[in-house]
Structure 1
Amino acid sequence: MAQSSNLRGLSTINFYADDLLEAKAWYSRFLGVEPYFAFPQEGPPAYIEFRIGDYQHELGFIDRKYAPKGSVTGPGGALTYWHVDHLEAVYNRLLELGATEYEPITKRGNSGFVTASVVDPFGNVLGIMYNPHYLEVLNK
């Protein structure tokens, strides 16, 4: 049964990067897809966006020169976790591509939840998680 909520679901996560073309190349290698959207369409992009995962969530990248005043330039702020089926393999792939450890692989209690996070080459924290609840909701 659907429940009403002020927060209906993840829509878009935006990261900042000084070099969007390099961010595009790095994330395309990691995700295995090219961004579906870029603005402007001609010339250097100010914004690029990937659609990924079971629900086609949006992962966007904004040229850092458009970041709000006072934004941190290093890792910080909220941490969003993306569900992955094979956490250790994805974590190791991120490290192989040049990300650095932010939080090691960490078992969260005895219910099957496991998290890890890295800092991408552009200073953004990318969280990954094996989440049994995500799989339960997906299979309903």
Structure 2
Amino acid sequence: MLRGLSTVSFYADDVAAAGKWYAELLGFEPYFVRPEQGPPAYVEFRIGDFQQELGIVDRRYAAHGKSDQAGGAVLYWHVDDVEATFDKLLSMGATVHEKPVERGPGFVTASVIDPFGNILGVMYNQHYLDVATAH
């Protein structure tokens, strides 16, 4: 059911500063920034052989707000049907972390807390499908 890494989301209070830090670490600038003008709320890098996504999101958009503890990353696994997978996870004892949300055309995310306390993200991601098809 889980087809591969789709997107890793990190949260930051200052997305511009975090984007610069990751650009320095990775050696290249993000390919996607929104909004295009003004302070960014989201920046995204494509990394590795399959060009997986590392997104840095304004912490205001985190499903459960700001935490004072380290962490906050949600790993999204690509699935073909977010709603069906989300329902199956709930039926297996997971609890809702974030209900399915359309993030834009071809991008839907959801996350659950598994019975062991881990956050599991699932995502329909057209970019993942395009890369997988090309390989």
Q: TM-score, normalised by structure 2?
A: 0.50
Distance 1:76 1:66 in 2: 15
Aligned-residue offset at 1:7: 0.5
The structure that has the greater radius of gyration is: 1
Amino acid at match of 1:67: A
Higher strand share: 2
What is the total number of aligned residue pairs between the two structures? Answer: 75
Distance 1:65 1:31 in 2: 25
Q: Percent identity?
A: 59
Compute the RMSD of aligned alpha carbons.
2.0
Matching of residue 8 in structure 1 with residue 8 in structure 2: no
The correspondence of residues 48-63 of structure 1 with structure 2, limited to 5 A, is 48-63=43-58
Matching of residue 21 in structure 1 with residue 16 in structure 2: yes
Where structure 2 has 5 or more consecutive residues not aligned to the other structure, the ranges are 76-135
CA separation of 1:79 and 1:17: change in aligned 2, threshold 3 A: closer
Match of 2:42 in 1: 47
Amino acid at match of 1:9: G
Where structure 1 has 5 or more consecutive residues not aligned to the other structure, the ranges are 1-5, 81-140
Distance 1:16 1:76 in 2: 9
Higher relative contact order (CA 8 A, sep 6+): 2
Distance 1:20 1:8 in 2: 29
